[in-house]
Every structure is written in C-alpha cells, then in structure tokens.
C-alpha cells in the first residue's frame, strides 16, 4: 500500500512539471513516465489501484481536477481536453504490468516495446477524447499527437533506461 500511495503522490507531483506546447491546449507533463514506471514496478492490481487513487482524488474535488492545484495546476480535468489522456493512464499502467510479467526474461528491447504499447494507449485515449470534443480527428492529431510524438519517445527511452538499469520490474 505504501508503494501505491507513493505512485499516487508521484502522479500528482509529476503533473506539476509542465511545458505548454505551441498549438496544443494540453500541457506536456512527466505523468506518462510515472504511469509507465507504475506498470513496470507494480503488479497489475496495484498499478490500477495507484492510478485509480490518483484519479479518484482529482474527481472527488468539486468540479474535478480543475479545482485542485495539485493536479496539473488547474489545466486538466473533466471539463478539458486532457481527460482522455488521464483516463488512458489506467489501461496503460495495467497493460504494461501485464505484458512485462508475461516474459520469463526481461530485456531492454522488451521493456521498450512494452513501454511503447503503454504510451500508445495513453496517446490513443487522448486522441479519441479530443476527436469527440473537437469533432475532427485531423485537428485532434494536429494538437494532441504531433506535438507529443518526439517528447513521448524521449520519455519512453528514459523509462526504459531506468527500468533496465535499476531492474525495477519486480514481483511486488
């Protein structure tokens, strides 16, 4: 439970490190790094519990994430285009946890591939929400995927190096 609480706090803290990207209403944060690490480090149920805990804390506030500065400093939440990404954290953490545990031997390449699947789930979830709120998939891709493609690759490499070097994939 301590690790779950730690990841809840880490998700909240990582949302504070933001870069506002040109031509995108969605800030880039380090939350995807924490979500992937959560999936690599925790068993599926615990990874889901950590992300659910983070989401529950945000949704429990009046008006969702936008009323609690701990969650992306008023820039994300239920009434914004970031909701899809936030919801995508849940299946991403679970998928990463399930996939990495399906291997008898964890290699760097497998870590990268599993992390890429997790990242894709988050981005796809964000794009679906944006397409529903903006009504055009082309516009959603232009503001919700293109600005994040290169940073997502860098974050994936960071996570992969951390997981492989630290052997953070455990049976916790």
CATH number at residue 42: 1.10.1760.20
Q: What are the phi and psi torsion angles at 68 (to 5°)?
A: -125, 110
Cα 96 to the center of its chain, rounded Å:
11
Could you list the residue range(s) of the whole structural domain that residue 101 is in?
2-166
In a domain, 171, yes or no: no
In a domain, 105, yes or no: yes
Residue 172 pLDDT: 44
In a domain, 36, yes or no: yes
Q: Which residue has the tokens 């990463």?
A: 96
State if pTM tops 0.95.
Answer: no
In a domain, 145, yes or no: yes
In a domain, 172, yes or no: no
CB within 8 Å of 31: residues ≥ 6 apart: 11, 14, 15, 89
pLDDT digits over 49-106, tens only?
Answer: 999 998 888 776 645 454 555 555 444 555 567 889 999 999 999 999 999 999 989 9
Q: What is the DSSP letter of 21?
A: P
Domain count, the chain: 1
């Amino acid at each position: 439970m301590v690790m779950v609480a730690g990841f809840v706090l880490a998700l909240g803290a990582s949302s504070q490190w933001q870069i506002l990207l040109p031509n995108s209403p969605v800030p880039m944060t380090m939350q995807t790094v924490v979500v992937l690490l959560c999936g690599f480090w925790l068993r599926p149920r615990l990874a889901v519990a950590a992300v659910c805990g983070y989401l529950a804390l945000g949704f429990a506030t009046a008006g969702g994430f936008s009323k609690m500065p701990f969650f992306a400093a008023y820039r994300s939440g239920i009434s914004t285009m970031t909701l899809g990404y936030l919801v995508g954290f849940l299946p991403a953490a679970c998928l990463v946890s399930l996939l990495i545990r399906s291997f008898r031997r964890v290699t760097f390449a497998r870590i990268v591939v599993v992390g890429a699947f997790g990242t894709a789930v988050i981005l796809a979830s964000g794009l679906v929400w944006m397409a529903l709120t903006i009504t055009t998939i082309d516009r959603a891709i232009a503001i919700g995927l293109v600005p994040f493609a290169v940073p997502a690759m860098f974050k994936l490499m960071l996570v992969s190096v951390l997981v492989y070097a630290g052997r953070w994939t455990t049976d916790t």
